[in-house]
Structure 1
């Protein structure tokens, strides 16, 4: 699993959402699809192969933060599509950005724990 690629993909969401709100993106964004946290590579790992790592200290926190990340991203898109772009921008620059940064740091921590556990080193 390429953790830096997964972190990068989630960091890029802010740029995608910013372009969407600015009207400079032709990318069709569906809030119902975005909300699903099991479709991206990280979500597939969390709900698939990563379950074997569910005892790691950061696993459950990352799972919850990741689900909230997808919900916030979906909310940004939904607000914009409903004509409430100012609220969408407020969410994007506020709660979404804070949560995204926290998720990024927790993913770095989880990746270290997973690597240690995979090498037979106790992450505790």
Structure 2
């Protein structure tokens, strides 16, 4: 019986079941989506002139600094790397930060209307793609 259980554990590990179960316990994909939604709202307030805190485009534009970016490049999402949703997430997240950095650059040089256009179009599309990809990954994570 112990041999069968060890074999079953090995098969589960081979097919990634243990990795998915571990990911389910460690990942808060909803929290990652919320963090990016809140960041979009914060950047929107900057565009409208409601917030005047200093922002650096170099930091905003780096996708690897936030928790989701660390998950994308780290082992946390390893079990999902072959999924189309993962590739969508990776690209959308890169674009989200790239366009966020560009918006900050535009604001720094006084091009508020250009920043607003990027925010409403490309930045918004990137966020929607992040949420769509996270929803797909979450569905797989919970066996759906």
TM-score above 0.5, yes or no = yes
Q: Residue in 1 aligned with 2:38?
A: 12
Cα distance in 2, alignment partners of residues 96 and 109 from structure 1? 20
1:61-80 correspondence runs (5 A): 61-80=88-107
- 2:14 equivalent in structure 1: none
Work out whether residues 21 and 85 of structure 1, in 8 Å CA contact, stay in contact via their aligned partners in 2.
Answer: yes
Q: Decide which of 131, 135, 138 is 1:104's aligned counterpart.
A: 131
1:87 equivalent in alignment to 2:87: no
Match of 1:45 among 65, 71, 79: 71
Please provide the CA RMSD for this pair: 1.6
Report the alpha carbon displacement of residue 22 of structure 1 after superposing the two structures with TM: 2.1
Q: 1:37·1:66 contact (CA, 8 Å) conserved in 2?
A: yes
Which has more radius of gyration? 2
In 2, distance between residues paired with 1:115 and 1:36? 30
Whole-angstrom CA distance in 2 between matches of 1:87 and 1:55: 37
Shift of 1:57: 2.8
Tell which deviates more after alignment, 96-105 or 78-87.
96-105
TM-score normalised per structure 1: 0.85
1:21: which partner in 2?
47
Of the structure 1 ranges 52-61 and 8-17, higher mean CA displacement relative to structure 2 is found in 52-61
Give, in angstroms, the shift of residue 26 of structure 1. 3.6
TM-score (norm 2): 0.74
Residue 57 of structure 1 corresponds to which residue in structure 2? 84
Higher helix proportion (structure 1 or 2): 2
Query: Partner residue of 2:58?
Result: 32
Question: Do 2:80 and 2:137's aligned partners in 1 also have CA atoms closer than 8 Å?
Answer: no
Q: Which runs of 5+ in 1 are unaligned?
A: 117-122
In the alignment, structure 2 segments of 5+ residues that lack a partner are: 1-26
- 3-state DSSP class of the match of 1:79? helix
Q: What's the CA shift for 1:80?
A: 0.7
Residue 114 of structure 1 corresponds to 141
Q: Does the 8 Å CA contact 1:56/1:113 hold for their aligned counterparts?
A: no
